[in-house]
Structure 1
Amino acid sequence: MSDHNDNTTTQLTQFHETLTTNKFLFVVFYRGHWCPFCQGYLKTLETLLPSITTAGGKVLAITAEIGHEDAMRASTGYTGTMISDPTNSIAAALKAQGKLDVAITDNTLTKTKGYEHGMAQPAILIIQQDGTVLYDWAIVPAVMNLGGAKDRPDLVQVWENAEAKMEGKKEVHSAYKLQTFGQTIWSKIFG
């Protein structure tokens, strides 16, 4: 078996084992350590970790980027589980199952930045152990959202709605605030 297949099997196995040993997964796909929008998302995700864990869930941050986990942790304070999936095998499996359709940017620019099999764009999946999807969202890269960088739903609101669903209650938010360019720059400058 080649390294490519070994890595694919390892990432898919890790994902499925994590799902089967937790009540639910809160999964965030991110572009890379260099993306200020992704950094902001993982900072927010870190603040949600205690609440998600208390509810029986596990947080996963997945990227197609290789070898920058420590840099991302250092810039965001994120302490949850990270999976580097350079072949986008998890995204492909979720798409095949009809659970989530993560956009994969596959062009010359992403290849020169080290994404040999394309760069997974931002996406969120909250999935229960039995396969029930509580929330799914994936960006469609466009000029207006800076190629998939901005206009992501607020993670706190996403979590509040998912938590309400799990408790059999009505969703708290009928619409989500979106992460904007100004918020990201403000956070980058002022922490």
Structure 2
Amino acid sequence: MASPPERFNNFLKSSDFVFVVYYRGHWCPFCTLSLKQLHEIESNIVAAHGTPLIVTAEVETHLGAIRSQTGYTGDAIVDPENLLASDLKRRGLLDVAISDKAGYEHGMAQPAVLVMQKDGTVVYQWAIVPSLIWENAQAQMGGKAAVHTTYSTLRLWQGLKLKIFG
């Protein structure tokens, strides 16, 4: 079987673009919401000759649960060793944060989105960075303003829809 980076490259070669959504796991409410929203636009992505693709470091036995919870039926890459995240970071395409978590031998990939065209052009990239969230939380708990701009998932998806589909 092909490695996660090889599978990613194969998806990219076989469509005009890939619309990649990294998620933590079937237990994550933020991720479930994001994948439900991806499911809502899945047919639009395919109609535009793209490939919707979900990626997780969670073990494959939970893939059925996330599909059942969200309705998402598209392609998936299960990457418990975070090989794709490492490859994307090395290539300067997307810096997926990897956090320690029980049950994830090589770490848990944090939520991220990458929209990339076949020619390698990155149309959109976004990645959650837990350390920035912590800095905002710490500042606010100390009575100060947030240090970093944050994004709601609704705004993220609305912005992506506009950028991709006009």
Query: TM-score by structure 2 length?
Result: 0.83
Question: Does 2:128 correspond to 1:139?
Answer: yes
Question: Does 2:5 correspond to 1:16?
Answer: no
Q: CA RMSD in A?
A: 1.7
Residue identity in the other structure for 1:28: V
**Partner in structure 2 of residue 33 of structure 1:** 26
Deviation at 1:63, TM superposition (A): 0.4
Secondary structure of 2:24's partner?
A: coil
* Alignment length (residue pairs): 148
Residue identity in the other structure for 2:83: S
Question: Does 2:94 correspond to 1:100?
Answer: yes
User: Take 1:47 and 1:54, find their aligned partners in 2: how far apart are those partners?
Assistant: 13
Deviation at 1:157, TM superposition (A): 2.5
Deviation at 1:80, TM superposition (A): 1.1
Residue identity in the other structure for 2:34: Y
Residue identity in the other structure for 1:31: R
User: Take 2:107 and 2:20, find their aligned partners in 1: how far apart are those partners?
Assistant: 19
Deviation at 1:96, TM superposition (A): 0.5
User: Take 1:129 and 1:98, find their aligned partners in 2: how far apart are those partners?
Assistant: 16
User: Take 1:159 and 1:87, find their aligned partners in 2: how far apart are those partners?
Assistant: 31
Deviation at 1:12, TM superposition (A): 1.5
**Partner in structure 1 of residue 108 of structure 2:** 119
**Partner in structure 2 of residue 50 of structure 1:** 43
**Partner in structure 1 of residue 118 of structure 2:** 129
**Partner in structure 2 of residue 72 of structure 1:** 66
Secondary structure of 2:3's partner?
A: helix
User: Take 2:69 and 2:165, find their aligned partners in 1: how far apart are those partners?
Assistant: 28
